[in-house]
Amino acid sequence: MKCQKCNKSATFHITDLTGDGVLALHLCSDCAKHYLQPETESIEAPEITGVLSQQLKLEQTAEDLQTLDARECPICGISFYEFRQAGRLGCPHDYVFFGDELEPLLVSVHGSNEHTGKHPVRGAYDAQSQTELIRLRSEMKQAVSREDYEKAQSIRDQIRAIEGHRRQSPNEPS
Amino acid sequence: MHIDDLASRSGEWLRGVGPQSDIVMSSRIRLARNLADFPFIRRCNDIDRANIDSTVRERLSKDEILKDLTFIDVATLANLDRQFLVERQLISREHANSDGARAVAIDGEEQCSLMVNEEDHLRIQVMKSGFDLDGAWDHINDLDDRIESQLTYAFHEKMGYLTACPTNVGTGMRVSVLVHLPALVITNQIERVFRSLQKINLAVRGLYGEGTQAMGDFYQISNQITLGKSEKDLINQVGEVVPVVIDYERKARKFLIEEDQNELFDQVSRAYGMLQTARRISSEETMYLLSRVRMGINLGLIGDLQIPKINELFIQTQPAHLQKIRQAPLSTDERNVERANFLHQHLKVSDN
Ligand SMILES: [Zn+2]
Ligand SMILES: [Zn+2]
């Protein structure tokens, strides 16, 4: 019998459990070795959490890191610790709020920290009303969970006012 | 449009047409986008997610092209249907398996899909059959403009489109080309090709994101970097390397024929025969054999089968597709029997 991956004769007969049942493989010794010990070298993009922890190890003392970890975004409430554990940010403002830490990270991942591609055709919200909406929504959630409906109502009116202003003047440069 | 209607069709990326379609299955571009006025998914509660979902639906219905997209509520979809959409590459595995309000909007040709509440609020994707990155870019750029005229994206002057993970920030763009490389696998050159691509910052994955032991010898070549280069530059980076890989694959095929055409013919014919006559067969083995047959057709070693037919079999023998086509939930064992039946029916010698 010939090896299924190359032309040499198959000396290994492997049965493997896969997601879809039993897979029978007939392989030569070289291919079998390769099959049983797949490349350990990762072909995935560098995990963001790994790159970040290496960067912090180089640049921060343990004390500095503790202070940094405790910093929380005033808009969405994510802590730096949560970000570096999960590798995911909490809101657009984090790019500004954690900017000093993110900049070297972006450079080591992308080789750059400056966007040179497409821009939205319309102006974006100005940075302030953008974060204001996220902040108001989270305040409203808190008000609702305290059953402070009067407060929630007034926050909702503020949200509507900002959204309404934006919708009436969609092409206004920001 | 109903999900069940999709099962009998092959979808855009398996049509087997377009430039270099003997080796390039499909060209795909996706853009990650977030709404400016919501936190990223990680900090969203159920209400936020539901709000994003309904805002997107409501706004897109105002655009004359986007209003024709079909929204599918992924959260309430049966497990099997979610798996089915993953097999068709209309949603990611993560999107299928996560929690909370989420949706996907697709067009009738299955060229475009828009995931709502994946890792980012929006993941826009366009697929074209064959090697057609320019076509994919023109299409997705237009969709992006249309969506942006209805919704405000999170965007920063210096850092570009803001994404939940910093690895996607800037353009938010992932360009990937799905190639079929059986001869490079047979001649043991595939690892070498991978390493040279990694050196120029390109990633290589299997059809459904797996590593080097890719199913059916299908590989996706894609960019890693999203920031600091324009969309056109990123497309060119992938677009310039694909013809080189195609050339390697063609050379490896030529080598196999010149070295021992009878041996290759034997392998291809055996694979074809196994598919026609097996009584039970796993999806891995099916992919493996279909890959050989596909190459055999392209090399003129099999004359009575067409590429679109083989492409269809690749998708229709996947676990969820098989169950959708048979309209019954099947255990692994039952699937292996049904799969063999299905192949037997579709590859009958008397068909020709
Ligand atoms: Zn071998
Ligand atoms: Zn934040």
**Do B145 and A102 lie within an 8 Å CB cutoff?**
no
Considering the domain architecture, whether residues A131 and A149 belong to the same structural domain is answered as yes
For residue B128, what are the CA distances in angstroms to B18, B75, B145, B268, B349? Answer: 8, 27, 19, 28, 32
Considering the domain architecture, whether residues B240 and B289 belong to the same structural domain is answered as no
Ligand at shortest distance from the CA of B185:
1
Point out which residues pair with B106 in neighbouring strands. B70, B113
Interval A34-88: pLDDT, tens = 665 544 333 344 577 888 888 887 777 888 888 999 999 999 999 999 999 899 9
pLDDT for A109 beyond 80? yes
CB B219 within 8 Å of CB B241: no
Q: Does residue B236 lie in a domain region?
A: yes
Q: Does residue A85 lie in a domain region?
A: yes
Centroid of ligand 2 to alpha carbon of B139 (angstroms)? 33
Q: Tell me which of A28-37, A161-170, B108-117 is least confident.
A: A161-170
Considering the domain architecture, whether residues B299 and B203 belong to the same structural domain is answered as no
Q: How far is B2 from chain A (nearest CA, A)?
A: 27
Interval A141-152: pLDDT, tens = 888 888 888 888
How high is the mean pLDDT of chain A? 77
Centroid of ligand 2 to alpha carbon of A103 (angstroms)? 16
Q: Does residue A120 lie in a domain region?
A: no
**Do A6 and B191 lie within an 8 Å CB cutoff?**
no
Phi, psi (deg, nearest 5) at residue A55: -60, -45
Residue B272: other Cβ atoms inside 10 A: 22
Considering the domain architecture, whether residues A53 and A98 belong to the same structural domain is answered as yes
Considering the domain architecture, whether residues A134 and A155 belong to the same structural domain is answered as yes
What pLDDT shows up at residue A93? Answer: 93
The answer to whether B209 contacts chain A (CB < 8 Å) is no
Q: What sign has the CA pseudo-torsion A58, A60, A61, A62?
A: negative
The answer to whether B330 contacts chain A (CB < 8 Å) is no
Considering the domain architecture, whether residues B62 and B200 belong to the same structural domain is answered as yes
Considering the domain architecture, whether residues B222 and B273 belong to the same structural domain is answered as no
Residue of B nearest to A47 (CA): B167
pLDDT for B333 beyond 70? yes
Q: Does residue A9 lie in a domain region?
A: yes
Q: How far apart are CA B224 and CA A106, in angstroms?
A: 13
Interval B214-272: pLDDT, tens = 688 999 999 999 999 999 999 999 999 999 999 999 999 999 999 889 999 999 999 99
**Do A90 and B37 lie within an 8 Å CB cutoff?**
no
Q: Does residue A28 lie in a domain region?
A: yes
Percent of chain A's residues with pLDDT above 70: 72
What pLDDT shows up at residue A36? Answer: 57
Centroid of ligand 2 to alpha carbon of B163 (angstroms)? 12
Residue of B nearest to A39 (CA): B212
What pLDDT shows up at residue A9? Answer: 79
Interval B264-304: pLDDT, tens = 999 999 999 999 999 999 988 999 999 999 999 999 999 88
Considering the domain architecture, whether residues B169 and B230 belong to the same structural domain is answered as yes
Q: Say what the alpha-carbon torsion angle B293, B295, B299, B305 is, to the nearest 10 degrees.
A: 40
CA A66 to chain centre: 22
Q: Does residue B165 lie in a domain region?
A: yes
Considering the domain architecture, whether residues B220 and B277 belong to the same structural domain is answered as no
Q: Final residue of a domain: which of B198, B232, B249? A: B249
Stated pTM of the model: 0.84
Q: How far is A30 from chain B (nearest CA, A)?
A: 10
What pLDDT shows up at residue B214? Answer: 64
What pLDDT shows up at residue A34? Answer: 64
Q: Final residue of a domain: which of B218, B249, B280? A: B249
How high is the mean pLDDT of chain B? 91
Q: Final residue of a domain: which of B249, B274, B305? A: B249
Which chain B positions have a beta carbon within 8 Å of A90's beta carbon?
39-40, 42-43
Considering the domain architecture, whether residues A54 and A102 belong to the same structural domain is answered as yes
Residue of B nearest to A171 (CA): B149
Considering the domain architecture, whether residues B120 and B210 belong to the same structural domain is answered as yes
Q: Does residue A173 lie in a domain region?
A: no
pLDDT for B335 beyond 70? yes
Interval B137-191: pLDDT, tens = 999 999 999 999 999 999 999 999 999 999 999 999 999 999 999 999 999 898 8
Substitution target in B38, B94, B155, B295 with the highest count of A β-carbons within 10 Å is B155
> DSSP labels for A68-130?
HHH-B-TTT--BHHHHHHHS--SSTTHHHHTHHHHHHHHHHHHS-S---S---SSPPPPHHHH
Considering the domain architecture, whether residues B209 and B63 belong to the same structural domain is answered as yes
Q: Does residue B284 lie in a domain region?
A: yes
Q: Which H, E and C letters describe B69-116, residue by residue?
A: CEEEECCCCCHHHHHHHHHCCCCCHHHHHCCCCCEEEECCCCCEEEEE
Q: Which domain holds residue A93?
A: 47-110
Name the band, by pLDDT with cuts 50, 70 and 90, for residue A159: confident
Q: Does residue A121 lie in a domain region?
A: no
Name the band, by pLDDT with cuts 50, 70 and 90, for residue B7: confident
Considering the domain architecture, whether residues A132 and A86 belong to the same structural domain is answered as no
Q: Does residue A172 lie in a domain region?
A: no
Q: How many Cβ pairs closer than 8 A exist between chain A and B? A: 187
Which chain A positions have a beta carbon within 8 Å of B36's beta carbon?
92, 124-125, 130, 133
Name the band, by pLDDT with cuts 50, 70 and 90, for residue A171: very low
Closest CB to A90 among B40, B167, B212? B40
State the total domains in chain A. Answer: 3
Which chain A positions have a beta carbon within 8 Å of B282's beta carbon?
18, 20-23
Considering the domain architecture, whether residues A26 and A66 belong to the same structural domain is answered as no
Considering the domain architecture, whether residues A63 and A82 belong to the same structural domain is answered as yes
Q: Does residue A16 lie in a domain region?
A: yes
Q: Which domain holds residue B308?
A: 258-346
pLDDT for B322 beyond 60? yes
Centroid of ligand 2 to alpha carbon of A167 (angstroms)? 24
State the DSSP code for B170: B
Phi, psi (deg, nearest 5) at residue B203: -105, 150
Q: Does residue B351 lie in a domain region?
A: no
State the total domains in chain B. Answer: 2
Centroid of ligand 2 to alpha carbon of B189 (angstroms)? 46
Considering the domain architecture, whether residues A133 and A83 belong to the same structural domain is answered as no
Residue A49: other Cβ atoms inside 10 A: 14
Q: How far is A69 from chain B (nearest CA, A)?
A: 17
Phi, psi (deg, nearest 5) at residue B292: -60, -45
Q: How far is B260 from chain A (nearest CA, A)?
A: 10
At A49, list the tokens: 């959490």
Which chain A positions have a beta carbon within 8 Å of B165's beta carbon?
48, 87-89
Helix, strand, coil % (nearest 5) of chain B? 50, 15, 35
CB B150 within 8 Å of CB B37: no
